[in-house]
Each structure stands twice: as C-alpha cells, then as structure tokens.
Structure 1
C-alpha cells in the first residue's frame, strides 16, 4: 500500500501461517527492483495481516518445480544496500528465514505481547542459511548469537530489545502508530542525506558477502544430512507448517522427541 510517494507499506498475507516459500522470494525480488527504481521512495514498512505469524519460517516441503528466481541472499543484500530505508513492524512469530528477513531490514520494532522471534533450524537438524549466522552476531554479540541459534528457542520482544536484536519493544496497542510516526518522519526528509547516512552506517555494520554465502552453502548441505531428514519428517508429522500448538510454541516443542 502506498501511504505516499515517499512511504510504502507492504503486508505479508499468505495463509495459513505466512510460510516463506520460493514465491515469497520471487515477490520480494520484484519488490526490491521497484524500490531501487523509484526516485521518490524513501521508506518501506513491512508488517503482517496475521497477528499470530509475521513470517513463520521457510517452507520445508520441496517445491513442485525447480526455483530459478532471485536468491534470498541476493535480495536481502540489495535491500540492505539500496537507498530506501526498510522497517520491520513485527507482530506475531518471526522464525528462521522470517527472522532473517527482519535482520535484513534497517530497523525492527516489535509487539511486546505478540512478537516471537527465533532461529529454530538447529532443533530441526539443519543450520540457518538466510543470514542469521552473519547478521545476528553484529547486533547481539557472539555469545548471544550462539544462545539464539544453538539453543533454537523462542524469544519475546522485551528480551530481543535487551539483546539489541530489535530497536524497540512496544505495547501492541502502540506499535502501529509508533512505526507509522517514524516512517512518516523519515519520509519528510530529503532523500540524499538519508541515502548517504544509510550507506555510511552500512560500511561498518553489514556482514561480508563471503560470510553470508558460507551460511547459505552450509544450510543447503544440511538439508541432505540423514539426521536432518528424520527430524524434519518428525516435526511435519507432529503438525509443523500447520496452524496449531506446535507452530505456536515451536521453541518449546522442537526440543521434544
């Protein structure tokens, strides 16, 4: 939705739980094309139509046809480096590549009552591949990044704020208005200084491409590990990728056997 020529709002709406699919990657690639080409655009806010799931995680079922569109890492890198400022307004669960999407945004604000963040991949026998191993340590430090990724647990917004994972945790009733105020304030300023400060800050805060590629390659390899296949099949049999108890409390249930 175009709030103004300089401020767009993009809403994820893919029932039943906003899984990230290859179609999602393709749509985000198209969106970044538009962001880069628009001379008036200054800020984009991403939110969700589902109050329980911002972006659940990657769809672990194999695609029916081979995917040939833009890779997530390329799209995320372009979004992080383009002149437009991106803001994630997180209400609901953002796990796995859903959380990695928010990490690729320039700012992250989350609902105290409804946001849940996590990297559950290790609990499924695989590794994160969308940038968490490179981006999270730059935000939260080595020890906390290992806690988040190796323990594969869920984290609430207040803990994420304490860790430096997100900019701010806000009461759910205040989240939309606060993010809208920040976005409109940014949109009121001139485009060139906004673009220049984003680029300058990015020089010391964006991960190296080699680190991102290493994470992606390890993730792809981990999908072929026999133990990973067993864990993923077990999780799918127990209700993963369906709206229900396992997805609502994935951090707790992923450690159960």
Structure 2
C-alpha cells in the first residue's frame, strides 16, 4: 500500500488497483486531493500493465464530498498541484485513458464528488448508502465540474434539469433507473461484486480493452475538454454574483463544510436555507 495524504493506492495486482479516498472529517474535495489525483493520473498513464482502477471511499458516509470552499483558489506547494481550471484536463485524461476507471460509490457523492464519479467510466453504487446530488443551484451558483455535460449525455434534458435545478438527493435505485449508475447493489454485496468485476477485467488483453473503450467513447458522446472548460469558466463568473456571496455567508454560518450533521443532510438543509 502506498499511503499519501488523501489517496491510498492499493495494488491488488499489477493489472488492478484500488484507490481509497480518505480526507477526514468530511471527505471534502480540496487542492491537495486534486494534486494527488493528477500525480495518480501520471502513474496510471505510465503503467503498461494496469488495466482497471477502482475508486472508493474510506468513509462510509461520504464517497467524495463537495469542493472545500475554505481552500478555494489555493494551489499547494506539492507535486501535481494545479488550479481548479485544470479540472477539465484531468477528467478528460481519465475518460480517454487506456485504463478502465470504476467508481464504487458508498456514501454521499455531492457536487464535485458527484462530478468525479460521473467522469469515471463505470459506476456501481450501494443501494442503501449511496447518495448523489448536484447542490450548486441551491447555493446560488451552477455546476462547473462536468456535471451538466455528463448528465446531459447519460440521462437526457428533462432529467438533467430535475437533478440540477432541484439540487436534491437521489438514491442509488433512482440513479440506476435514470441511467447514471450501472447498477444499484445491496451494500453487503457491493465490495465483492466490484472486486469480482475488476478481477475479471484485469485478466483480459489490455489492447483489446483500450480499443473497445475508445470505440465506445467515440459513439457515446463523451464531453470534450472544451465543453467541460466552458462550464468551468462560467462557474468562475457565477461565483462572483452577489447572490452567491450572500448564500455562501449563510452556508458558512450554518456549518457548510464544517459540521458533519449539517453535511449529512445537506440537500435538505440547503432547501431550508434557500427559502428563508
């Protein structure tokens, strides 16, 4: 096991890695996590034997949470560090990589955490514990990490509007029904199910996996880096709105990014704050 600050990389075999995401207490997506993901992406692309990577969480309540706004704009002094406007480049690399990426979602995948799961090639979710939400509109802003692009391709216009404009929580069964997760799996079976899938794929010829993924990407309408960059750029402007600033003040006072109780029921709490 290679242990870093946010990501624990477990090499199950030369062809199959597990990446356990652990950033207590709330698994917030912060600049350090982004830096480590960029370094990991370099390692993934440079490994000739690797075929499949499974991303999972070390916190059963949070897969990957929203962006850590307290550190927004910070670029840490460490390998792989980059500003948030480099996010479209990372997810494009992930989507176009020769390695298959799987999100094993247990706990809350909100905002950027949801967008990270969407950028993975395949998503399996805990029936009892997975929660998905794009909360940005409830905070007087917009999704800027690819959620709009990925959801539009996966679930269509009307359901994308429901998810984005409603800014509410969705469980794994609805996610499967709508089409943004491959399967909703009972939590007690999730680990074994994903491991069996990953072990199976890891035994196949890498070139066959790579070419098949490229062919599917060409036909499935994978968002381009340019499309992702547009939303990322729009978000930067929206964050400067006075409405967004006022809402952020409310959120911080209520415990956003600080209180586990507030974060566990974030979508519900946001709805109450927005109506005040």
User: What TM bracket, shorter-length normalisation?
Assistant: over 0.9
Whether the aligned pair in 2 keeps the contact of 1:6 and 1:40 (CA below 8 Å) is yes
Q: Map of 1:189-208 to 2, 5 A cutoff?
A: 189-205=204-220, 206-208=222-224
* 1:207 positional shift: 1.1
Q: Map of 1:86-97 to 2, 5 A cutoff?
A: 86-97=101-112
TM-score using structure 1 length: 0.97
Distance 2:53 2:158 in 1: 31
TM-score using structure 2 length: 0.90
Partner residue in 2 for 1:167: 182
Distance 1:44 1:53 in 2: 19
- Kindly tell me: are residues 222 and 64 of structure 1, through their superposed partners in 2, closer, same or farther at Cα, counting changes over 3 Å? closer
Whether the aligned pair in 2 keeps the contact of 1:44 and 1:87 (CA below 8 Å) is yes
Task: Please state whether the residue corresponding to 2:208 is helix, strand or coil.
Answer: helix
Q: Map of 1:236-251 to 2, 5 A cutoff?
A: 236-251=252-267
Q: Deviations over 1:107-150 (max 9, x none)?
A: 00000111000100000111111101111111111110111011
Distance 1:226 1:62 in 2: 20
Gaps of 5+ in 1: none
Whether the aligned pair in 1 keeps the contact of 2:31 and 2:75 (CA below 8 Å) is no
Whether the aligned pair in 1 keeps the contact of 2:30 and 2:71 (CA below 8 Å) is no
- Kindly tell me: are residues 61 and 41 of structure 1, through their superposed partners in 2, closer, same or farther at Cα, counting changes over 3 Å? same
Distance 1:100 1:74 in 2: 14
Runs of 4+ displaced beyond 3 Å: 62-68
Partner residue in 2 for 1:7: 16
Gaps of 5+ in 2: 1-9
CA RMSD of aligned residues (A): 1.3
